[in-house]
Structure 1
């Protein structure tokens, strides 16, 4: 590959890293063509961008950005595929489901999620448990609605009790 081509690829990788807020580093070299196609289809359905890159070019692209990605540099060995997503836990869930069906042929290396680094296969369960932005918003709304619902139901039940007492008194 010529030097000009390498610099173009590095710029494209850097632009993609800046475009997405979360990314996962995986190793998918052990997958055959059929399983790789299935992985790509699953990624497409969940709006995850899957890109296979050369480690040296990815390293240079990471160095060219403002964020310090140095904890991930040790993971750039062997074959590397990057899963880009705007939902923090979507790739982790996909990897976990895919590993069940392919008998652990898709290896998780590391991830950059919510401005934190997760390195090692043992971090996959922690990443699955991370809630997405929409899930957190739904939780906050549910918590905010709960006291209001309690007050409304208490007022409604109190009103019916008071109405019952008044009606009983009027009948006597």
Structure 2
């Protein structure tokens, strides 16, 4: 059943808001998945905080053109398209990669991704899946910052412990 003008306007507004609010947008080709597989895939995306929607290419194209900056993705809007919106750039790629491996299927297939202004092609799934999350990057930075402090503390404690052991040995020798 075709959408009414009011429904199209509502969908267009929703897509525009999602494009503005999420830094990671993945376009996928999903045709060929059965209902059970598509439901399982949607559930996995939901568990990772990713919104996965089947959209009309025309409406997504209009929303992208209105927002601007998505020109590189426009040629990918052909055939059945599902979009994954995520605040975590690597989350959709990890879900797709894991789903493809566990289900032993070739679909859904990545058409392209738009992450913070950078465009990735269909062959970038492995690269995108290996990206670290924001929390992992912060933890790495904190570890690097704290590492010199740990080394200084260890260096300061080492001679003190050696001196204490030496004093103890001398005291034990004097008692004997």
TM-score, scaled to structure 1: 0.92
> Gaps (5+ residues) in structure 1?
none
Indicate the residue corresponding to 1:104 in structure 2. 106
Indicate the residue corresponding to 2:49 in structure 1. 47
TM-score, scaled to structure 2: 0.90
Work out the number of aligned pairs and report it: 170
Matched-pair contact (CA < 8 Å) for 1:26–1:107: yes
Matched-pair contact (CA < 8 Å) for 1:72–1:119: no
Larger radius of gyration: 2
Q: Give the Cα separation in 2 of the matches to 1:160 and 1:87.
A: 46
Give the deviation of 1:139 after TM superposition. 0.4
Indicate the residue corresponding to 2:83 in structure 1. 82
1:116-171 alpha-carbon deviations (Å, 9 max, x no partner): 11022x11111012111111101000101111111111111110112223344554
Q: Give the Cα separation in 1 of the matches to 2:109 and 2:16.
A: 23
> Gaps (5+ residues) in structure 2?
none
Aligned CA RMSD, in angstroms, stands at 1.5
SS of alignment partner, residue 154 of structure 2: helix
Matched-pair contact (CA < 8 Å) for 2:69–2:117: no
Indicate the residue corresponding to 1:35 in structure 2. 37
1:25-70 alpha-carbon deviations (Å, 9 max, x no partner): 01111100110111111111111101110111100000111x4100
